[in-house]
Amino acid sequence: MKRIFLPLIAILFITGCGEPENKMQPDPENGGLVLPEGFSALVVADSLGNGRHITIKDNGDMYVSLRRPKDGKGAVALRDTTGDGKADAVSYFGSVSGTGIELHDGYLYYGADSMVVRYPFNDYEDLLPSEAYEIIAAELVDQNQHAAKPFEFDNEGNMYVTIGAPANACMEQMRTKGSPGMDPCPILDYAGGIWQFKADVVGQTQMDDGYRYSTGIRHMVALRWNDNVGKLYGVQHGRDQLHQFYPDLYDAVAGAKLPSEEFMMLDDGADFGWPYCYYDQLQGKKVLAPEYGGDGVEIGRCSAKTDPIMGFPGHMAPNDLLFYSGTQFPEKYQNGAFIAFHGSWNRAPEPQKGYFVVFVPFEGTQPSGEWEIFADNFSQQEVVENPGDAVYRPCGLAVGPDGSLYVTDSREGRVWRIYYED
Amino acid sequence: MRTNFLLITALMMLSACSGGKKKEIDTSKKAGKTPVIESADDITAHPGHDVYTLHCLPCHQADGNGVPGMYPTLHDTEWVNGDTETLISIVLHGMDEEIEVNGEVFSMVMAPLPHLTDLEVADVLNYVRKRFGTADGSITPEQVGEVRDEG
């Protein structure tokens, strides 16, 4: 589907904004980003609010979700009418706020914390959709922690929604030192996984119509269908506080590095092991969590759980993932994965980590090499000691019709467009 | 390749940070938050410092500014400067409701810390109130004990 559109899009783009006097110019210092050679960035828009995810129409119109409403509106639409890459039409809309946002089948789908809705367009070429939405999936678990509802579509009429676990490690007493893990963890019945719904059926509820597609996933803000291989992927927010709760097993450095942020390939029925297990990227194996009797080495029941396809360092907070479908970037990037790491807080008192966008090369269903930092310096700090010092935090990713990579920021609401020129 | 890139990145960041931008931002963000504890020595010598580092710092961070969108700041807020009984109760019993702190809304759970002794709770709250707040006077272990007994 997306592939068929690309030539069309390219033609539209060339005819629509090929005037040389309107050619895009990178911002000074690439709008604050450090990029590989040959790449430039410009600031599309600034100060939008708490920007989360972003989706882009074939005509280049951009839609950004907002974690908290701005002037009572939960989303913002952006249009560049001059072809210089800068948004000159900025319109807030929508009465719900949240994280997930994606154009699909002529609608704009939106993930509020308790439901996924969709806005129809009177005319799909309009910048703003209708203010009245339809509810696709309602009564989604929404309990303060990990309430964000990102979602994704396959090409067979299904929608996948993250139902994050409202917990850190399913302890009897929430986030309390010494409290054991509940066994079995009752949360897994209604959260801590990916639920599947019909993409175009109005009025579904999680308990009546949702199907638990994959489980043992603490929280997954980065969720994406890979069209090349026809599979769902995501990157988990791993558990916190190994050092604070178990200082005898994990010193401050180990607690900062562990557990891994796991890059997962989500098959129907897969169980990744939260809260019983976590992946240790230093040992290269899934081990038993200390709340369930683990000592940092013992595997136990975790041998039956699904391993990630890659293990990133801990706490970096992967907030979006995409598989690069454009042809603008050099060949090495094509079909590879970009991941936005929002940046850690649970590495303190060690320095924080993340606050960058990484690239992972892919071949078929699996990574074909090591991950590398692609876009850096979002924090504008040499070292981030406290998350509050980070000026920007990368959160959402999208590929535009010409193959540019767009990145949103959750602090100031900046949107960058990263592009490649020979 | 990776090493070169990192090196270049590090160099660029170093040179970028020697300019005015970082300092400007730091100053504006921390304006008006002058701690009553004056020096680094004062901070580490306070009996509440170690309790803070072990139990509070993971979420509220070393600088007390919290995590944007997740954990609130401890600087200059009525929660810290205001009613001591409420403050003691939050530490002992935790908090699981949406609150507003200095205009920002937070909904993450605050873990209860009932395993801290009355003295540890008093020490850490006096430390927080002196370092990040403007409150006079001090909280005694006896006050903590009374709130604990009330349940």
Q: What angle do CA A370, A372, A378 make, to 5 degrees?
A: 155
B19 is a domain residue = no
The tens digit of pLDDT for each residue in B75-131 reads 999 999 999 999 999 999 998 888 999 888 888 888 889 999 999 999 999 999 999
Rg over alpha carbons for chain B, rounded to the nearest Å, is: 18
How far B127 CA sits from the closest chain A CA (Å)? 18
Q: How confident is the model at residue B42 (pLDDT cuts 50, 70, 90)?
A: confident
Residues 51-80 of B with CB under 8 A from A: 53-55, 57-59, 61-63, 65-71, 73
DSSP state of A190: T
- Bridge partners (DSSP) listed for residue A181: A171
Residue A362: predicted pLDDT: 98
| Of the partner residues B9, B53, B114, the one whose CB lies closest to the CB of residue A376 | B9
Nearest alpha carbon to residue A384 among B22, B77, B47, B28: B22
Residue B107: CATH number of its domain:
1.10.760.10
Express each pLDDT in A317-327 by its tens digit: 999 999 999 99
Closest residue in chain B to residue A342, using alpha carbons only: B68
What is the residue range of B53's domain?
Answer: 37-150
Residue of B nearest to A168 (CA): B109
**pLDDT in the model for residue A20:** 44
* Residue B63 predicted with pLDDT over 80: yes
Residue A145: name the closest of A216, A239, A73, A72 by CA.
A239
Residue A5 pLDDT class (50, 70, 90 cuts): low
Place of tokens 């990227």: A281
**pLDDT tens digits for A144-202?**
789 999 999 999 999 999 999 999 999 998 788 888 999 999 999 999 999 999 999 99
Segment A17-52, tens digit of pLDDT: 444 455 899 999 999 999 999 999 999 999 999 999
The model carries a pTM of 0.87
Which amino acid, one-letter code, is at A368? S
Tell me if B26 is assigned to some domain. no
> A364: distance to nearest CA of chain B, Å?
23
pLDDT digits (tens, 9 = 90+) for A78-134: 999 999 999 999 999 999 999 999 999 999 999 999 999 999 999 999 999 999 999
Query: Whole-angstrom Cα distance, residue A158 to residue A155?
Result: 7
**Residue A90 corresponds to which amino acid?**
V
Domains and CATH numbers, chain A: 2-420 (2.120.10.30)
The phi and psi torsions of B24 (rounded to 5 degrees) equal -55, -50
Show residues of chain A in contact with B96, CB under 8 Å: 144, 174
Distance CA B110, CA B91 (A): 8
Partners of residue A345 in chain B, C-beta under 8 Å: 58-59, 61, 67, 70-71
Q: Is residue B20 part of a domain?
A: no
The residues, ordered by sequence, that sit 6+ positions from A111 with a Cβ below 8 Å of its Cβ are A65, A98, A99, A100, A101, A148, A149, A150, A151, A161
d(CA A298, CA A282): 14
B68-82 b/e (C-beta count within 10 Å ≥ 16 → b): bbebbbbbbeebbee
Across the beta sheet with A51-56, the strand order is: A51-56, A62-70, A73-79, A89-93
CA distance B150 to B148: 5
Task: Kindly state the tokens that stand for A299.
Answer: 């595997």
Is residue B23 in a domain?
no
What is the overall mean pLDDT for chain B? 78
User: What is the value of ipTM here, to two decimals?
Assistant: 0.74
Helix B141-150 × helix B118-131 angle, to 10°: 120
Task: Say how many domains are in chain B.
Answer: 1
Beta-carbon contacts of residue B37 (< 8 Å; ≥ 6 apart): B43, B46, B130, B131
Q: Distance, in angstroms, between A382 CA and closest chain B CA? A: 6
